[in-house]
Every structure is written in structure tokens, then in C-alpha cells.
Amino acid sequence: MTVSVATLGERALRRLGVAIVPVADRPALAAPVALAAIATNALLWLAIIASDETPSPADAALALAKAAAVHDGLIAQGFVSWAASAVPSAVAEDYARLTAMYLAPAFGKAADPAQLPVIEARIRKIAQIMAAPALAADEVLGVHQDLAARGLVRWSSFDIPDAAADCYVRLAADQLAGQFGLKADPRDALAAERSLARYIALPTSGERVQGEYY
């Protein structure tokens, strides 16, 4: 049997404790939330309007401008990659809280500046996790390309044998760790290379590997 690069990437993320549940097993997120809805929620956070009220045109415009500024600020910091028209529902409340913080002075209210880095860090983490599967798959592919460049493998990235899968996972996890603020154990990568070397040293049966694609 063979294992896909994407599957190995997800295993590497689980090994690091970054993303425990595979993408295929996660329920789909709700539809993106419009900035106008986020702006209205910010006014609710500040108790400028009640849940059954509609904001005045002036308040709605000001809140929308602040919500757009919050989004632009996150883009400028390299925290998020989605467009203003596609803010994921997972971070919609965080956007509303940030917008409320920027709106507060306009309504004579005080905001807690200590909450700013906390909320931004949460948004950054969610964005990072959402991008993690593609990043991990690229890292597994990088591991394979490195091994191939050194003449250490006799298979392509499309038919990585299951027996070598754990070695790929450990090597990819070692490379990924720093990108998630984790510390890699160099002994783990060394052990993976040794295991892979022993596997590669086994004589081939001469039979072609049959890949399984789903």
C-alpha cells in the first residue's frame, strides 16, 4: 500500500498536536460572515443597540469603516489571507470584538488594550490552523524531494510505501515544528533517517508498486 502526501502531512500535524482531527472528519464551517454583520455585532458588544434594534445609518457606516480597518490591519500584519468579503465564521466574533475596541472611544466608552494582542493571537492561530494541511503537505513533499535529491528513495511522491510513512511523518514534523512555535527533537529526525535507510537497504522484490488513489 502507498500513502498520499496530504495524508502524511495531516499525520505530521497530529504528531505535533497542531491539528488533531483530520480535515475529512471535521464538520464544514458555516458560511463566511459579511463585514456589515460584524459591524452590527460590534455595536451590540458596546450596547449601542439592542439585539432587536437596527443601527442608525451614521453608526452603521462608522462601525463598518472600523471593521474594514480591523481586517486591513490583520492583512498588513500577515495574520490572515481571506478577503474582507470572506471572513470565516470561526473568527467573526473576534472581528466584532476588535471592531468594538476601535469603536469604543467614539461612543465615550473605554476599551481594554490588553485584550488586543489576545484576540489577534486567536485569529492568527485559527488562520494558521486553516492553512496547516496545505503547509504540511508541502513539507512532506519537501522531505521527499530532499531524499530523492540524495538518491535515497526509489519511489515517487505519488507512491510512498506505507512502511516508510512514519519516517516521512517524523521528518516532516521536525521541519514543521518551528513554524508553529514548537521545539523539534533532533534525535527524532535522526532516528527517522536511520529507519528509512534500513528500509531502503532491503532488496526489492522486482514487483511494481501498486498505488491506490482516492
How far apart (Å, rounded) are the C-alpha atoms in residues 99 and 130? 22
Domain ranges of the chain: 2-24+132-201, 27-127
**Other CB atoms within 10 A of residue 149 CB:** 9
Alpha-helical (H) ranges within the chain are 5-16, 35-45, 57-76, 92-103, 115-149, 165-176, 186-201
Backbone torsions φ then ψ of 58, nearest 5 degrees: -65, -45
Q: Residue 161: in which H helix or E strand, if any?
A: strand 160-161
User: CA 169: distance to chain centroid?
Assistant: 18
How far apart (Å, rounded) are the C-alpha atoms in residues 123 and 114? 15
pLDDT per residue over 19-77, tens digit each? Answer: 999 888 989 888 999 999 999 999 999 999 999 999 999 999 999 999 999 999 999 99
pLDDT score, position 130: 93
Residue 188 grid coordinates: 527524532
pTM: 0.81
How confident is residue 212, by pLDDT bands cut at 50, 70 and 90? Answer: low
How confident is residue 208, by pLDDT bands cut at 50, 70 and 90? Answer: low
How far apart (Å, rounded) are the C-alpha atoms in residues 124 and 201? 44
Average pLDDT over residues 155-177: 93
pLDDT per residue over 191-200, tens digit each? Answer: 998 988 888 8
Residue 155 CA: distances (Å) to CA of 73, 125, 158, 183: 45, 35, 8, 30
How far apart (Å, rounded) are the C-alpha atoms in residues 10 and 176? 11
Provide the 3-class DSSP secondary structure of residue 160: strand
Q: Is 193 exposed, middle or buried (0-12, 13-18, 19+ CB in 10 A)?
A: middle
